[in-house]
Amino acid sequence: LVEFTPTLETFSKATIQQTTIDWGDGQPNTEGFCPASPSPCVQTLKHSFPNIGSFTVKVTVVDSNGKRASAQVTVKVETDIIYVSETRGSNDQPGGCGVAITQPCKTINKGIERAEDLSKPRVYVAAGTYDRFNMKSNIEVKGRFSEDFNGVGGNSTVSGDNTGNPAGIVLSGVVRAKVSGFVVRTPVVSSGSTQAIFIDGSGKGAGGKVTLENVVGGEDVNGGRGKGNESAAILIKDSVVDLKEVTANSPEASEASSSTYGLRVDSSTVAIEGGNYKASAGLSGLPISRPAGIPAPAVACPGGGTSDRTAGTSTCGGGVGGLGGLSG
């Protein structure tokens, strides 16, 4: 939608008799927007161009003396969207990918890069399976589009990997960003933690919130939930976050003494609207190794320390050299 404000003026006491705007896009002209009256006439008109491209808009006025004058302006029409399709896309389009629906980018990271370079606030992603991506500030990434981007398609699925930060979607130091319409698979890691979505405001949370909407976090390729140590479907640190209709299924625990979290929050402000958050069972710790000849106590073995932080001793080996109170 574009606004135009032509100013029309006659001379020698003539009045405005006829006004026309030719929009240059094949749609019908607009006639008579300035009534027969003394000049000047200032009118604001709105027009929606059905396609992207360059169009010449021409204004013509005829006065009561039959005198005619015209003025024109060229309008370049673009969307504020970058398009991504795993099926049809290519990151090496002539002139750059993503601006036209017919020439989408292939990867979400490339789409976000193009959106940032061209100052476009939205990235639309067709149904398909995509690699992990890193969000940028002031951008919305929205999935589940049909291939023609004219409706809803199947799932837009993102898979994390087991190298570096394993999360499928990473928002690090990002503000005023939104992710919606994705299913995020969580990898299995051999050591360390794993997440489907990792949000770390790095102290920038006050600069603007991050929003997740209609996102499923924590589904792996085989329908499980990934696996790791102290793992969470969604991990949020130092951020301001809105969660709307989010489903978070925790990864499975992989090491002894490991907990799991559907949603884990550290030093953040989080608002939740609807959704479903589920943590699977953690794993117990390993048995304690006792010195040779020391039997397991029937009851808790006191460490022998005192509240004034004096080191204690213990006949059962439970607290030799420990500081503090009578802990078991």
How many other C-beta atoms lie within 10 A of the C-beta of residue 184? 28
| Per-position pLDDT tens, the chain of length 328 | 889 999 998 888 888 999 999 999 999 999 998 876 667 889 899 999 888 789 999 999 999 999 999 999 999 888 899 999 999 999 998 889 999 888 999 999 999 999 999 999 999 999 999 999 999 999 999 999 999 998 999 999 998 887 777 889 999 999 899 999 999 988 888 777 888 999 998 756 556 789 999 999 987 545 567 888 888 999 999 999 999 999 999 988 888 888 899 999 999 999 999 999 998 888 887 776 767 776 665 555 555 665 555 666 655 554 444 444 444 3
Best CA proximity match to 161, nearest among 199, 130, 202:
130
The half-sphere exposure of 234 on its side-chain side, counting CA atoms within 13 A, is: 29
pTM: 0.70
